[in-house]
């Protein structure tokens, strides 16, 4: 497939740019997204092309910004709300969890909320605002939640999110932002919301992962291949609604499941993934399910304890070893 | 003194209809939010707006605004009675309204977010370069939420075509406004946002209407928002069943003497525009209409367990793998 090599954030911006060119109702609203180019360059170049008629710098008012976008969506526009960092979603919770997701159902489909909310989470080069709160939103009916791991998916899911008529929460992992560069297909490249992807096939154990943990799982899988253990790496990509069909098919094949995410293990998405498999594919399991996630403390600042906190490739490897102890 | 007689008579009729409907709804449901005594604020605020303007009325007294936008009494009753024909088919409170009438519905039960959403409607009006405007009203209690500050500040900073109206009825459940803020007048808060703040007698429908229309003109002309405080009084409890034993009866009695409908009728009688018999006829007609609409709505079908709408969460369905 013809394409260009680009970073994760370049792919995100390209997805937004193409959709803004395609549809004059698409606009971006957020903090420091204009001439400044967005935190971590999240909107670089959009101001130069679209200017103040389509790119709106807001005061520090996450709640009002979310409400304005919801109101504009009810009036038929297609807002992209750039919430600089995931931690600030907490300031806009009523709009995001109580209001936006309810509208379509409440109005018997007469009103829709084509709203994309993008935000940054996770470990990154600057270390700031790292907390991963995506599980909060997967609990809420009516929200679609996506979290890509590659530049191609970043662009394809961004375009799908902007065209979607429901509120989509788009989690962008900060380590991937400038740290991952890969080929992004040219042209009309859309990745459907609600579909996981097998990144590497294997027959012995499924590692279902999100965002940066997908890369760490692939790293672990590579090492296990040398030991003769075939790890299947599943990138969940859409966290809500979960692609249970792909998940269950994988576990039915391998019989073993490890779930890995950077967010806290307790109450994390992994719990939902594990419970789904336990409920619907218990008979296929050859080993207990193991979850890899962060310990139950806030994300620490200093690198030494940050390293002790973050789930890593070693954590995934240990989990794979643990489930492989159960033979047959 | 009374410039447009037809308009004033129409507003009088709406206030009477609102009162009669509200009393009937209070009898029907102990959980209804009574609006008796506050009619001049929703009627004066939302009367005379264009069909392409967006209305986001405060929940208390909102049904009269829905009627003004084209909903029928029978549809309002379908909501109050929890019928299958109600807006949202029983999925939410009865006091929300069809969005296709350009009325923003109460999407969820928390107060405040609608102020930002209405600001978003004004944003969309500006984005589309239309000269439509948005009017949003909310209680004095709600004006203490952060939503109020963020939304009004943003609406003012961007000079959006919106009118913010505080329906100050002095009480937020059991919390009197004097204890909720040190501000003497809620309209004074406008100064902090750099927009005009106007305090009006909220029991004088013409005063409310004149102030709002002036603000609408400003908004349409691109001069940005106005904050209006309309001072009225919550004559009954928070809900129909609330006896409001937490407040002094004298306060309520004092306000009974300022009833907005009686005041308007006295004024119209003085001006020789509406006789006592004419007024009586308006009340009788309202009672008959409200009663007939209720009887009709009672015959509507009931909500079914299958109306839960499990498969109706999303507008864009997920593609099967
Ligand atoms: C965010 C939020 N907090 C509390 C409540 C509970 N509540 C419902 S009505 C009400 C009083 C509201 O007062 P006000 O805004 O003055 O309107 P009024 O009831 O007087 O018309 C309260 C506290 C709520 N619905 N939402």
In this prediction, residues A254-258 reach a mean pLDDT of 98
Would you say residue A84 lies in a domain?
yes
- For residue A91, the domain's CATH number is 3.40.50.970
Output the six-digit token pair for A138: 């997967």
Average pLDDT over residues A228-238: 98
**What are the residues whose beta carbons fall under 8 Å from the beta carbon of B201, sequence distance 6 or more?**
B207, B208, B230, B231
Is the minimum CB–CB distance between B151 and chain A shorter than 8 Å? yes
**CB of B109 shorter than 6 A to ligand 1:** yes
Question: Do A157 and A73 have their domain in common?
Answer: yes
Phi-psi group of B244: left, alpha or beta (phi > 0 → left; psi -120 to 50 → alpha; rest → beta)? left
Q: For residue A328, what pLDDT band results from cuts at 50, 70 and 90?
A: low
| Residue A135 located in a structural domain | yes
Whether A190 is covered by a domain: the verdict is no
pLDDT band at A125 (very low <50, low <70, confident <90, very high): confident
Res B41 pLDDT > 80? yes
Q: Name the domain boundary from A155, A185, A215.
A: A185
Nearest to B318 among A61, A104, A194 (CB): A194
Kindly state whether residues A131 and A229 are assigned to the same domain.
no
pLDDT in tens, B103-151: 998 888 899 999 999 999 999 999 999 999 999 999 999 999 999 999 9
Statement: residue B1 has pLDDT above 70: no
Q: Of the residues A128, A160, A185, which one is the last residue of a structural domain?
A: A185
pLDDT at B321 over 60: no
- Nearest by CB to residue A110, choosing from B100, B114, B118, is B100
B319 to chain A, any CB pair closer than 8 A? The answer is yes
pLDDT value of position B94: 63
Give burial (CB, 10 Å; 0-12/13-18/19+) of B243.
exposed
Same domain, A233 and A175: no
pLDDT higher than threshold 90 for residue B10: yes
Q: How far is CA A83 from the centre of its chain?
A: 14
Q: In sequence order, what are the beta bridge partners of A46?
A: none
The reply to whether A23 and A168 lie within a common domain is yes
User: What Å distances lie between residue A317 and A208, A259, A284, A307, CA to CA?
Assistant: 13, 12, 22, 16
User: Above 60 in pLDDT, residue A133?
Assistant: yes
A120 shares its domain with A169 = yes
* pLDDT (tens digit per residue) in B49-91: 999 999 999 999 999 999 999 999 999 999 999 999 988 898 8
Residue B22: pLDDT band (50, 70, 90) is very high
Q: Are residues A205 and A176 in the same domain?
A: no
pLDDT tens track for A66-97: 999 999 999 999 999 999 999 999 999 999 99
pTM value is: 0.97
What is the reported pLDDT for A220? 96
Q: Does residue A177 sit in the same domain as residue A203?
A: no
How does the average pLDDT of chain B come out, rounded?
Answer: 95
Asked if residue A149 and residue A262 are part of one domain, the reply reads no
Is A251 a residue whose pLDDT tops 90?
yes
Give domain status of residue A317, yes or no. Answer: yes
Beta bridge partners of residue A169, listed in sequence order: A117, A145
Q: Do A111 and A221 reside in the same domain of the chain?
A: no
- Does residue A146 share a domain with residue A18? yes
Return the SS3 of A290: strand
DSSP B118: H
Which pLDDT score, from 0 to 100, does residue A43 have?
98
Residue A60 lies inside a defined structural domain of this protein: yes
% helix, strand, coil for chain B, step of 5: 50, 10, 40
Q: Which of A122, A120, A110, A123 is nearest to A154 (CA)?
A: A120
Closest C-alpha to B138, from B104, B99, B101: B104
B113 to A71: CB separation less than 8 angstroms, yes or no: no
> H helices of B142-203, where?
146-157, 177-180
Q: Assess contact for B98 and B88: CB atoms under 8 A.
A: no
Give yes or no for residue B186 having a pLDDT over 60: yes
Confirm if B133 and B161 have CB atoms less than 8 A apart: yes
Does residue A123 surpass a pLDDT of 60? yes
Q: Has residue A71 been placed in a domain?
A: yes
CATH of the domain at A238: 3.40.50.920
Chain B residues close to A241, C-beta within 8 Å: 318
Find the closest chain B residue to A95 by CA distance.
B113
Give the residue numbers spanning the domain of A268.
Answer: 197-324
- The ipTM estimated for the assembled molecules is 0.96
Classify residue A170: in a domain, yes or no: yes
Asked if the C-beta of B313 comes within 8 angstroms of chain A's C-beta atoms, the answer is yes
- Number of domains observed in the structure of chain A: 2
Q: Flag whether A266 is in a domain.
A: yes
Q: Do A105 and B312 touch (CB under 8 A)?
A: yes
For A173-199, write each residue's pLDDT tens digit: 999 999 999 999 988 999 999 999 999
Q: Please tell me whether residues A159 and A33 are part of one structural domain.
A: yes
pLDDT of B97 reads 79
The CATH number that domain B5-299 falls under is: 3.40.50.970
- Check whether residue A41 and residue A149 sit in a common domain: yes
């Amino acid at each position: 497939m013809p394409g260009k090599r680009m970073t994760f954030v370049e792919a995100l911006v390209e997805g937004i740019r193409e959709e803004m060119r395609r549809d004059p109702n698409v606009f971006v609203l957020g903090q420091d997204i204009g001439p400044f180019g967005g935190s971590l360059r999240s909107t670089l170049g959009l101001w130069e092309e679209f200017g103040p008629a389509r790119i709106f710098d807001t005061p520090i008012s996450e709640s009002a910004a979310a409400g304005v976008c919801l109101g504009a969506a009810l009036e038929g526009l297609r807002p992209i709300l750039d919430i600089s960092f995931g931690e600030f979603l907490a300031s806009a919770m009523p709009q995001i969890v109580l209001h936006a997701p309810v509208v379509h159902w409440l109005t018997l489909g007469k009103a829709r909320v084509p709203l994309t909310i993008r935000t940054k989470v996770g470990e990154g080069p600057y270390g700031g605002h790292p907390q991963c709160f995506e599980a909060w939103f997967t609990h809420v009916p009516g929200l679609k939640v996506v979290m890509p791991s590659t530049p191609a998916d970043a662009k394809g899911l961004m375009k799908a999110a902007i065209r979607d008529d429901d509120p989509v929460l788009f989690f962008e992992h900060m380590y991937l932002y400038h740290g991952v560069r890969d080929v992004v297909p040219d042209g009309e490249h859309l990745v459907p919301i609600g579909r996981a992807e097998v990144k590497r096939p294997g027959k012995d154990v499924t590692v279902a992962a999100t965002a940066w943990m997908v890369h760490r799982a692939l790293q672990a899988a590579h090492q296990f291949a040398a030991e003769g253990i075939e790890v299947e790496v599943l990138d969940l990509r859409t966290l809500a609604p979960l692609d249970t069909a792909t998940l269950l098919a994988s576990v039915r094949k391998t019989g073993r499941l490890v779930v890995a995410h950077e967010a806290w293990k307790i109450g994390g998405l992994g719990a939902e993934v594990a419970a789904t498999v336990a409920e619907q594919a218990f008979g296929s399991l050859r080993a207990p399910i193991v979850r890899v996630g962060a310990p139950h403390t806030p994300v620490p600042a200093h690198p030494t304890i940050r390293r002790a906190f973050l789930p890593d490739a070693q954590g995934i490897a240990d989990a794979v070893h643990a489930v492989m102890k159960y033979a047959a | 003194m009374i410039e447009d007689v037809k308009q004033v008579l129409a507003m009088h009729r709406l206030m009477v209809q609102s009162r009669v409907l509200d009393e009937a709804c209070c009898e029907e449901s102990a959980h209804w939010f009574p609006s008796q005594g506050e009619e001049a604020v929703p009627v004066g605020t939302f009367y005379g707006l264009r069909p392409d303007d967006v209305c986001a009325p405060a929940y208390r007294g909102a049904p009269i605004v829905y009627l003004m936008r084209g909903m029928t009494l029978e549809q309002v009753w379908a909501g109050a009675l929890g019928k299958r024909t109600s807006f949202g088919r029983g999925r939410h409170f009865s006091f929300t309204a069809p969005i296709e009438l350009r009325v923003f519905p109460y999407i969820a039960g928390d107060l405040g977010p609608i102020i930002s959403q209405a600001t978003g409607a004004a944003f969309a009006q500006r984005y589309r370069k239309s000269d439509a405007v948005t009017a949003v009203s909310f209680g004095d209690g709600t004006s203490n939420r952060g939503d109020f500050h963020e939304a009004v500040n943003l609406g003012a900073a961007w000079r959006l075509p919106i009118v913010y109206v505080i329906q100050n009825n002095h009480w937020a459940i059991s919390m009197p406004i004097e204890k909720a803020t040190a501000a003497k007048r809620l309209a004074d808060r406008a100064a902090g946002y750099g927009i005009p703040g106007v305090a009006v007698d909220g029991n004088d429908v013409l005063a409310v209407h004149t102030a709002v229309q002036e603000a609408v003109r400003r908004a349409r002309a691109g001069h940005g928002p106005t904050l209006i405080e309309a001072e009225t009084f919550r004559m009954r409890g928070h809900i129909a069943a609330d006896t409001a034993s937490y407040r002094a009866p004298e306060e309520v009695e004092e306000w009974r003497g300022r009833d907005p409908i009686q005041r308007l009728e006295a004024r119209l009688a003085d001006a020789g525009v509406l006789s006592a018999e004419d007024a009586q006829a308006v009340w009788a007609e309202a009672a008959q209409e409200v009663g007939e609409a209720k009887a009709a709505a009672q015959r509507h079908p009931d909500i079914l367990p299958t109306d839960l709408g499990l498969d109706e969460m999303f507008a864009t369905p997920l593609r099967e793998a």
